[in-house]
Structure 1
Amino acid sequence: MSRLAKAAVAVLAALFVCPPLLSAQEATAPAAATPAVPSAPIPYTQLRPKPAPVRRAAPARPATTKLQAPAPVVPTVVGALLPTTAQGARLATGEALPPGELEPFVDGLVRDAMAADHIAGVTVAVVQNGQVVMKKGYGFASLSPARRVDPDRTLFRLGSISKTFTWIALMKEVEAGRMGLEAPINLYLPERLQVRDQGFTQPVRVRQLMDHSAGFETRQLGHLMERRYERERPLQQYLRQERPRRARAPGEASTYSNYGVALAGAAVSYVADKPFERLVEDEIFVPLGLSRTTFREARPVRQGLPGPMSAAQAAGLSDGYRWVGGHFEARPFEYMGHIAPAGSASSTAGDMSRYMLMLLNNGTLENATVFGPVAARAFRTPLRRTAPGINGWAHGFVVYDLPGGVRGYGHDGETLSFRTRMVLAPALGLGVFIAANTETGARLTQEAPEALIRHFYTGDQSFPRAGDPALAQSAHLYDGYYLPAGRARGGLEAFVDMLRGGVSSQVTPAGRLLLGGREWTPDGDARQGRFIDTMGNQRLAFNVESDGRTFQDSSGGDLFERAGFWRRPPTLALLAGLTALAALATLGGVVTRDRREFRQTSIQSRIALLQNTQAALWLTAIALFVAWAAKTGDAAEVMYGWPHPFLVIASACALVAAALTVATVVTLPAVWRGGRRVDSWTPLRKAGFTLTVLIYGAFSAVLWTWGALSPWSG
């Protein structure tokens, strides 16, 4: 390859190795709003000295405040798993955590993470058997001025944990007989918000919003979060203006949808005839005494929008941070009030303690009963049949497969800056809430609850898990590039989703599956498509009956489909490199071509001008795509600045170049007819022109199918 060609390919490669954007599952998706299978370095528990073994003595009485619960948790009422004591386990299922040993363990876990991953602030709450065992703040809620995290006063953005309040409000309406889970959601919506048929015969039902199987495509860039409060819209206006396409039949597969949850919140509000924010305050926050939990946001009063949060709440808000250039960079407040039911809530560790105690006690705390036995059972009953270890959506709550065979429930949350997780293990009477105010906090929030349960309630486990040599024989079932089924289906956002939202899967010689930056080992027979993380408890389930064309991860947030050759980033990169090379060769020929090759017919002269224009447009488009990609290191800039002018202009240039390519295809016969030898291109130049047309044509076709030729779609 020539030096010029190598340089062109190197520049194009930059487009495909830039840092990832937000995942296709939106910024508040569960378990990883990052691509569905985020990378996983060595767990913190293996980076620090192992704490001393827990003595099997009766636990000391916690020094924290005891909250009176009217009745103990009765797991059998809601079908909680009750595993036997694991071999070598530190505590039996019925034993409580010793507070004197719990706090040092959590301290070490959190402080190691804050140092390793550069996290500004963390808040933690642990409850068990009707008591707050631990609540604590670490680091800073604000660096300028300096303000430390206070577990009772510092509000962290909850992200998608907000959805659990929405599901409680909905189930209360179900218990009251005003809504039905099997009823079409349109029965509970005003006409202008009702879901359109869009070619589907079956209506979207209430339960399909709770298990994210309504079939909506995922669109988020430029509107899921706002940097300026002036851009906020009322919930109903947002739902009407940002209505997504229906990409799949309802009930077919779970594809995580913030829009679907917001629609459910709007339905509950419509049925109850109350603004959503007031509804959850009246029905949940006030009865539970959650004075520092709110869906309202810190902004000035504005007509047509819900009122802002109180001054006391606003004073306790934590800033959100990004670690860049060796220091913390504060991000602006993330406004999400326009899609409040899906993710705008903020809370403290103290309030989340009370919330978890209520959930563990089947809807009751002290003298307040938030929901009844029907809802309590629903929140621990999966709606979907899934493979072992894969979330089946317990009426909106995530189902977790925890260490030691313990089944957990809860939700994860993610905004641009905040990472949160709430895990409830009814069999242990245990609830864990953890939140970080820095975008690098995902590893800590994801691993901490499992690390705690593994340390105290399961036997010693050796990591990494060994591979299985038999996996190599089934490599064809799993190797490939997979795209999320819930991705945007058209326009520039579809282009970004296909470019950045997929994951590659490859079987290694060691008998492991390398997928999404993690290594997985077969969980049973290598041909059955079940895998477990070599360093943790996460799982994958491939549909081997369809030759491995789909898989789901533990979150159950999306279905991943194997992409064909033309829908893979390496194919796009190859064609982009060839296009750049052809364009450079075309323009270079204008300067270096032998004078005898300038002999041409009048039509060849016009086609030469057309070819040179194409070359300039393709090079401009590719250069702008690369320049835009270089600016995607901060997901906040992508979200707030969507669509970037570089991307729109690049798409417009590519669209014109592709249209000109169609014209050159039509003129090919005229080029080859030429005329007399002395008045026509040489055969070599005709062949070169034909090759250029074929390259441009293939690149144009791929860009069209990817959605990159739609500059208006931003």
Structure 2
Amino acid sequence: MTLRLSSKVARCAAVVGIWLAGAGSATSQSTAPTAAIPTAPRPYAPAPTTAKPRTAPAVRAARPAAPAAAPQAAAPPVAPALPGVTPLPAPELEAFVDGFVRRSMNEDHIAGVTVSVVQNGQVVLKKGYGVASVSGGRRVDPDRTLFRIGSISKTFTWIALQNEIDAGRIRPDTPINVYLPEKLQVRDQGKKNPVRVRDLYNHTPGFEDRALGQLFERDERRIRPLDVYLRQERPNRVREPGVLPAYSNYGVALVGAALANTGAKPFEDLIAERVITPAGLTRTTFREPRAWRDDLPAPMAPALAADMAEGYRWTPLGLQAQPIEFIGQIAPAGSASSTAADMARYMTLLLNGGAIDGRTVFSARAAQAFRTPSYRPAAGAAGLNSGFQDIALPGNRRGFGHAGATLWFHSNMVIAPDLGLGVFVSVNTDTGQSLPATLPSAIVERFYAPARAVPAFAPLSAEAAALYEGDYLTDRRAYGGLEGFVNRLIGVAKVRASAQGGLAITTDGHTRLWIPTDRDDVFKAADGADMLVFQREDGTPTRFFAPSGVAAYERVGPLFKQGVLSGMTLLAALASIATLAGVFVRSRRDTRQTTSQARASLLQTTQAVLWLAAIACVGAFALGSGDVAAVVFGWPSGWLLTASACAFIATLLTLLTLAMVPVVWRGGRRVDSWTDVRKLSFTVTALIFIGYAVVLAAWGFLEFWNT
């Protein structure tokens, strides 16, 4: 689903630098537009980033050469084009896609790719590249090989929802609780307004977003029924509904549960009967390959399971096959698997206004809803089209569709109605997110947009640019506890003025340039069609909306700047080391002390040990966080739990130490008391420790019970 862990968890490796060495590397800026603002800081981002995946290691293990692309059946004749639109020339399109895909496979170490392109009711291109299974030598067959399509699954859920809305059984402005059984209903949690159906397909329910340790499962015995998952994993409501966009897998799952409740059947059965089967998608399913269980929907049919592509992780030792990441417990948001051929039919259905082969799967009214923004967070910003993403395309065109990802699969589906065009692409390797993110726009640009020129714009003045500068944190995150702490570290966008008079926005170590437009607070990507919009409060920009339209980035205050955290960590570490060193290097005269001073010294020495242990444990966690699966499936991390518990105890001891400062300074007779220098050192150290504790408490790090 749009569940990219490269944006939520893989960046945890940066924690070491932020925690121990400061945020300098994160703020360094390149003038090259190498990366997009991520739609979210996590594995389930609503749209793939355009950031280039990691570069090849210095030493690369040999991997099997990708087999030649699966032969493509002769393309059917292209139907009459839309007025003024020249149909895609099939041979030129195939040559362009071949070069684009093979270059990406080589640079990004992708095992297998599947692609389909439709236009004017015809399949113009349908092709597989590389392998579905390295060990078995199974090549990607666009007609047979199933890829995990992640959050593209949500579009099926939105179709089923719109059918219910058309039938009058569900109303957009009615609270979702009306359609849910009591045990699944959304609680008030102090909020005035109920979450409506509309808020869920607009991704504005006001939920926080948690994923670690529960969104994916590696052990199929841990898969829970949808209703159990929704009951046990309730997110906190962090704002009133309808205020800001924040992509919510949980919200989509609630819609799936409402559909199952009103339809009186499991979601997997309902979506198959109402969307998949009527659309003629014979090799598409929301079921997963696992053993039968009485408390779960039926598993994937064996014939389909045999044709599933394996997921791969690229390592310095080459491609490593990964076990399936189960997401059936939240199936409406992302458990579907499909082939390029079936996705070609699905895109044709979307382009044909809901009809295919004489059958109507959804109404013309629903079709219009999927092409028309139902929500925009601000004028000029991208929004949502009744659940589908509103997508900017080259040539000032707009499309709709959805991107998706699991841990190892990355996919994208883009529909351009004014071109009669649909593009689907999916890869089965964790490093391959750039290809699905860029191929659809590249096709539109190559065949339907004028050659890209150096953009002309009126540069911002230094004073105007300075107003936008700052650190901004995504609102699509956990808001407390250890997951919230990690999200604060990896979910930051750094906005700086560029030398050219625009803005350079750095996320995930990559920088993209944005140039001002003729509209205030609206910027255009220097390297593409994406738009970015800022909002002001009291004349100062306080947030901006990601180009995907499903997340807002809000300016952070001084206490939440990564430089403050890293600076306080450094101070606490130095103070701790000095405290421990003092135990061994003090002169005999400096060891004279009263009983109270001796106790205070023991307390502070214990704190120093605990603070250093906490910092070391965070470092150990970060060093292992490059293994995304280990972080996701192993959450909560034992390293982080230990670090948080150590910091919590150290904080309690620090409060006690502060209470003893007056006693320490009062001392006893001169010959039996600390020197003034040692008293001052004790006091300064106590203040450093309490300052560090305040910062960690604000960041949620002391909440070891909240994971």
Global fold match (TM > 0.5): yes
- Which residue in 2 is equivalent to 1:131? 122
Which residue number corresponds to residue 60 of structure 2?
none
Which residue, 525, 530, 540 being the options, matches 1:533?
525
Write out per-residue CA displacement over residues 246-269 of structure 1, whole angstroms, 9 at most, x where no aligned residue.
Answer: 001010011000000000010011
The alignment status of 1:504 with 2:516, answered yes or no, reads no
Please, which of 47, 71, 74 is the counterpart of residue 31 of structure 1?
47
Instruction: Within 5 Å, give how 1:229-308 maps onto structure 2.
Output: 229-308=220-299
User: Does the C-alpha gap of structure 1 residues 73 and 284 become closer, same or farther in structure 2, counting only changes over 3 Å?
Assistant: farther
Instruction: State whether residues 284 and 338 of structure 2, in contact with CA within 8 Å, keep that contact through their aligned partners in structure 1.
Output: yes
1:304 maps to amino acid:
D
In the TM superposition, what whole-angstrom CA distance separates every residue of 1:413-457 from its partner, at most 9, and x where no partner exists?
A: 011111110000110000000111111111111111111101111
- Which residue in the other structure is 1:489 paired with? 479
Match of 1:541, SS state, is strand
Contact 2:457 2:517 in 1 (8 A): no
The alpha-carbon deviation at position 230 of structure 1 amounts to 0.5
Amino acid in structure 2 at the alignment position of 1:64? A
The aligned residue for residue 339 of structure 1 is 330
Note the 1:135-534 alignment, pairs <5 A.
135-387=126-378, 390-462=381-453, 465=455, 469-515=459-505, 516=507, 517-525=510-518, 528-534=520-526
Q: Counterpart of 1:27 in structure 2: which amino acid?
A: P
What secondary structure, in the 3-state scheme, does the structure 2 residue paired with 1:427 have?
helix
Q: CA deviation at 1:24?
A: 5.2
- Output the CA distance in 2 between the equivalents of 1:275 and 1:67: 40
Query: What aligned pairs does 1:564-713 form with structure 2 within 5 A after superposition?
Result: 564-713=557-706
Q: Distance in 2 between matches of 1:345 and 1:15?
A: 39
Cα distance, 1:520 vs. partner? Answer: 1.9
Instruction: Give the C-alpha shift of residue 512 in structure 1.
Output: 3.3
Output the CA distance in 2 between the equivalents of 1:276 and 1:67. 37
- State the secondary structure of the residue aligned to 2:705: helix
**1:235–1:266 contact (8 Å) kept in structure 2:** yes
Is the alpha carbon distance of 1:73 and 1:710 closer, same or farther for their aligned partners in structure 2, counting shifts above 3 Å? farther
2:499 partner letter: P
Measured in 1, the distance between the counterparts of 2:234 and 2:337 equals 26
> What is the deviation of 1:26?
4.4
Q: TM-score, normalised by structure 1?
A: 0.89
Q: What fraction of aligned residue pairs are identical, expressed as a percent?
A: 51
Please give the alpha-carbon distance, in whole angstroms, between the structure 2 residues aligned to 1:519 and 1:408: 22
**How far off is 1:635 after superposition?**
1.8
CA apart distance, 1:10: 10
Q: In 1, distance between residues paired with 2:145 and 2:553?
A: 38
Give the Å deviation of 1:63: 3.3
3-state SS in 1 of match to 2:382: coil
Task: Give the Cα separation in 2 of the matches to 1:679 and 1:586.
Answer: 20
Offset, 1:194 = 0.4
Say if 2:75 is the partner of 1:64: yes
Aligned length: 660
CA separation in 1, counterparts of 2:275 and 2:383? 25
CA apart distance, 1:674: 1.3
Asked if structure 2 preserves the Cα contact closer than 8 Å seen for 1:587 and 1:615, the reply is yes
Aligned CA distance change for structure 1 residues 270 and 471 (closer, same or farther; 3 Å): farther
Question: Does the 8 Å contact 1:389/1:401 carry over to 2?
Answer: no
Query: Is 2:117–2:123's contact at 8 Å kept on the other side of the alignment?
Result: yes
The gaps in structure 1 that reach 5 residues or longer are: 1-7, 43-61, 75-91
Counterparts in 2 of 1:302 and 1:346: CA distance versus 1, 3 Å: same
Match of 1:12 among 8, 20, 28: 20
| Paired residues for 1:30-109 under 5 Å | 30-32=46-48, 39=51, 63-65=74-76, 93-109=84-100
Q: Distance in 1 between matches of 2:644 and 2:295?
A: 37
- Confirm or deny that 1:542 pairs with 2:558: no
Contact 1:599 1:678 in 2 (8 A): yes
Q: CA RMSD in A?
A: 2.3
Secondary structure of the residue aligned to 2:277 is: helix
Shift of 1:67: 10
| Cα contact 2:218–2:324 (8 A) shared by 1 | yes
The range that moved more, 409-418 or 472-481, is 472-481
Aligned-partner residue type, residue 528 of structure 1: D
Q: Distance in 2 between matches of 1:10 and 1:190?
A: 45
Q: Which residue of 2 is the match for residue 55 of structure 1?
A: none
1:322–1:440 contact (8 Å) kept in structure 2: yes
In structure 1, what residue type is equivalent to 2:521? Answer: G
User: Is the 1:29–1:557 contact (alpha carbons within 8 Å) kept by the matching residues of 2?
Assistant: no
Deviation at 1:197, TM superposition (A): 0.7
Contact 1:614 1:660 in 2 (8 A): yes
Amino acid at match of 1:29: A
Q: Is the CA contact (8 Å cut-off) linking 2:460 and 2:502 kept in structure 1?
A: no
CA distance in 2, matches of 1:361, 1:264: 25
3-state secondary structure, aligned to 1:125 = strand
Q: 1:401 to 1:11 in 2, by over 3 A?
A: closer
- Alpha carbons 1:28, 1:343 under 8 Å: kept: no
Q: Give the distance between the partners of 1:23 and 1:458, measured in 2 at CA.
A: 25
Q: Conserved in 1, the CA contact under 8 Å of 2:17 and 2:23?
A: no
Within 2, Cα distance between the matches of 1:408 and 1:289?
24
Deviation at 1:544, TM superposition (A): 3.5
User: Aligned partners of 1:625 and 1:15: how far apart in 2?
Assistant: 16
Q: Which moved more, 1:166-175 or 1:438-447?
A: 438-447
Distance 1:630 1:41, change over 3 A: closer
Distance 1:495 1:270, change over 3 A: same
Partner of 1:87: none
The answer to whether the 8 Å contact 1:468/1:521 transfers is no
Instruction: Give the C-alpha shift of residue 539 in structure 1.
Output: 2.2
Q: Aligned partners of 2:78 and 2:96: how far apart in 1?
A: 24
Q: Provide structure 2 residue ranges, at least 5 long, that are not aligned to the other structure.
A: 1-15, 27-37, 55-72
Residues 389 and 114 from structure 1, CA distance in 2 versus in 1: closer, same or farther, beyond 3 angstroms?
farther
Note closer, same or farther for the CA distance 1:170–1:181 as it changes in structure 2 (3 Å cut): same
**2-structure distance, mates of 1:16, 1:258:** 33
Tell me, in whole angstroms, the C-alpha distance in 1 between the residues paired with 2:461 and 2:511.
16
**Helix, strand or coil at the partner of 1:712:** coil
CA drift of 1:125 comes to 0.5
Conserved? CA contact 2:78–2:87, under 8 Å: no
- For each residue in 1:16-47, what CA deviation from the matched residue of structure 2 results, as whole angstroms up to 9, or x when unmatched? 979xxx98554232113x6xxx63589xxxxx
Other-structure match for 1:48: none
